[in-house]
Amino acid sequence: MIDKNFLKKDSINASNRLKLKGFNLDVKKFDNIEIKRKKVQLDLQSLQNQRNVISKEIGIAKANKESSADLLSKVEKINTSINELSKTNDTILKEQADFLNVIPNIPCENAPIGFSEKENVILESCNTKPTFDFAPKNHFEIESIKSSLMLKEAANLSGSRFMVLANNLARLHRSLSQFMIDFHTQKNDYTEYYLPVIVNDKSLFNTGQLPKFENDLFKVNENSYLIPTAEVPLTNLLSGRKYNESELPLKLVSNTNCFRSEAGAYGKDTSGILRQHQFEKTELVWITTPKNSELHHKKLLEDAKAILNALNLHYRVVDLCTSDIGFSASRTFDLEVWLPGQDTYREISSCSNCKDFQSRRMNFKYKTKDNKSELVHTLNGSGLAVGRTLIAVLENYQQKDGSVVIPQCLKKYMGDIDVLR
């Protein structure tokens, strides 16, 4: 949630910044709500002051053994008016909350300005793009894994956009998850968590998935949903505690199944396992201070890059332009891995700085060195999306005979198997 006080002080500036993200802020509506809210509050304060004055008069009358019936009648009428105004005030506050809840985070001033993904900025290209002496195949066409990629069986079980993996293909998928978790906990000092995949609506509201993206979620019951990303439980997990500045940053990691209905995405990337309703992801979350969040955002990016470097996969780093940055994020760097079978780059990680947007929703604060309470900054990123990493390994390590070489860093997880045949 953006800072309400920022809107009050400079709604025009806020409106101009939000336009860069493709959001039109109704400044007039916000100002009208504020006018109503202030008037009701002033009226409430006036009535409460009148009641206090009359209450003192009632005390004096009782002390002098005088009748206070008229005064009590006035207090009763004032109480009735206060109750009615309080209800009106609650209605106005809800109207204001509903207005604020759909406003995205304001894009960072350092983010490139742009109004389509074509205006995203490529910051660097990493590792050598592989060359082949044959036409590389799409992952689902590679001979050695065809029988182990059971998409028809998955469709019979669950419908489209689900997958069943068998034999060493399933093991390779599991190996990637284990490798990522081990890498981040042992080399990057993250604390691992095992998390529920069902969360309540409050948790999803706190991280910004609700109310805007409800149609993209799988609903379990009236107040519960399957998680679209471990960002949701990880970011909410420690919000009930108050930390000292010296205890920050917190670095959290979890590998979970994720679930997205992707309403409106039907017909896109339906071949193979690129876009699934259920998929695994290793998620990284940082809880840090405002003064360090930009530095830690870059460190989070480096941690995600380290997995691609260890797998020796070619990728590029993209600084998303203002209109391409997600709802809760202020700035986002994407990692796009090269898929030779598709002859294109595909997003494999988004590393975002949400600043205090999420922490304001969950009232997640820390105590500064001078004993003040401030909102933390939250960062999140995939480290990495397991299914897309599997695709990248299959396509980049495929051989002319239809086999797939196992990357060196995964061999110990694969029982020292060198090649999928």
Residues 343 and 393 in one domain: yes
CATH number reported for the structural domain that contains residue 219 in this entry:
3.30.930.10
pLDDT at res. 298? 98
pLDDT at res. 65? 87
The verdict on whether omega for the bond into residue 211 sits within 30 degrees of 0, i.e. cis, is yes
- Of the candidates 258, 279, 294, which has an alpha carbon nearest to the alpha carbon of residue 379? 294
Q: Residue 221 half-sphere exposure, CB side, CA atoms within 13 Å?
A: 4
List the chain pLDDT tens, one digit each, 421 residues: 899 999 999 999 999 999 999 999 999 999 999 999 999 999 999 999 999 999 999 999 889 888 889 999 999 999 999 999 999 999 999 999 999 999 999 999 999 999 999 999 999 999 999 999 999 999 999 999 999 999 999 999 999 999 999 999 999 999 999 999 999 999 999 999 999 999 999 999 999 999 999 999 999 999 999 999 999 999 999 998 999 999 999 999 999 999 999 755 555 667 899 999 999 999 999 999 999 999 999 999 999 999 999 999 999 999 999 999 999 999 999 999 999 999 999 999 999 999 999 999 999 999 999 999 999 999 999 999 999 999 999 999 999 999 999 999 999 999 999 999 9
- Of the candidates 14, 203, 31, which has an alpha carbon nearest to the alpha carbon of residue 103? 14
> What tokens does 244 get?
């000292």
DSSP, res 134: S
Q: How many CB atoms lie within 10 A of CB 122?
A: 12
Structural domain includes residue 20:
no
Give SS3 for 388: helix
Residues 355 and 397 in one domain: yes
C-alpha dist (Å) from residue 12 to 9, 15, 88, 265, 408:
9, 5, 28, 34, 55
The verdict on whether omega for the bond into residue 320 sits within 30 degrees of 0, i.e. cis, is no
Residues 132 and 92 in one domain: no
* 220, burial (CB in 10 Å: exposed 0-12, middle 13-18, buried 19+): middle
- Of the candidates 343, 224, 207, which has an alpha carbon nearest to the alpha carbon of residue 285? 207
DSSP, res 118: G
Residue 419: enclosing H or E segment and its boundaries? strand 419-420
Residues 303 and 177 in one domain: yes
Structural domain includes residue 7:
no
Residues 288 and 324 in one domain: yes
Structural domain includes residue 222:
yes
Structural domain includes residue 172:
yes
Residues contacting 409, CB < 8 A, separation 6+: 179, 310, 311
CB 181 within 8 A of CB 161: no
Query: How far apart, in whole angstroms, are the C-alpha atoms of residue 332 and residue 290?
Result: 16
Q: What is the dihedral of CA 105, 109, 114, 117, to 10 degrees?
A: -60
Residue after which a domain boundary falls, among 101, 126, 153: 101
> Residue type at 31?
D
CB 319 within 8 A of CB 336: no
Residues 165 and 222 in one domain: yes
DSSP, res 25: -
Residue after which a domain boundary falls, among 48, 75, 101: 101
| Count of domains for the chain | 2
Interhelix angle 69-101/4-19, rounded to 10 degrees, is: 30
- Of the candidates 93, 95, 97, 142, which has an alpha carbon nearest to the alpha carbon of residue 398? 142
The residue assigned the tokens 């009535």 is 47
C-alpha dist (Å) from residue 86 to 75, 98, 240:
16, 18, 29
Structural domain includes residue 9:
no
Residues 85 and 169 in one domain: no
Structural domain includes residue 406:
yes
Domain limits for position 85 = 26-101
Structural domain includes residue 233:
yes
Residues 232 and 159 in one domain: yes
CB 230 within 8 A of CB 281: yes
Structural domain includes residue 112:
no
pTM of the model: 0.92
Residues 145 and 93 in one domain: no
Residue after which a domain boundary falls, among 71, 101, 131: 101
Residues 216 and 329 in one domain: yes
Residues 85 and 190 in one domain: no
CB 335 within 8 A of CB 347: yes
Query: How far apart, in whole angstroms, are the C-alpha atoms of residue 13 and residue 119?
Result: 23
- Of the candidates 345, 291, 278, which has an alpha carbon nearest to the alpha carbon of residue 318? 345
Q: What is the DSSP string of 140-177?
A: GG-GGGGGGB-HHHHHHHH-SS---B-HHHHHHHHHHH
Residues 88 and 157 in one domain: no
CB 312 within 8 A of CB 127: yes
pLDDT at res. 266? 55
CB 239 within 8 A of CB 363: yes
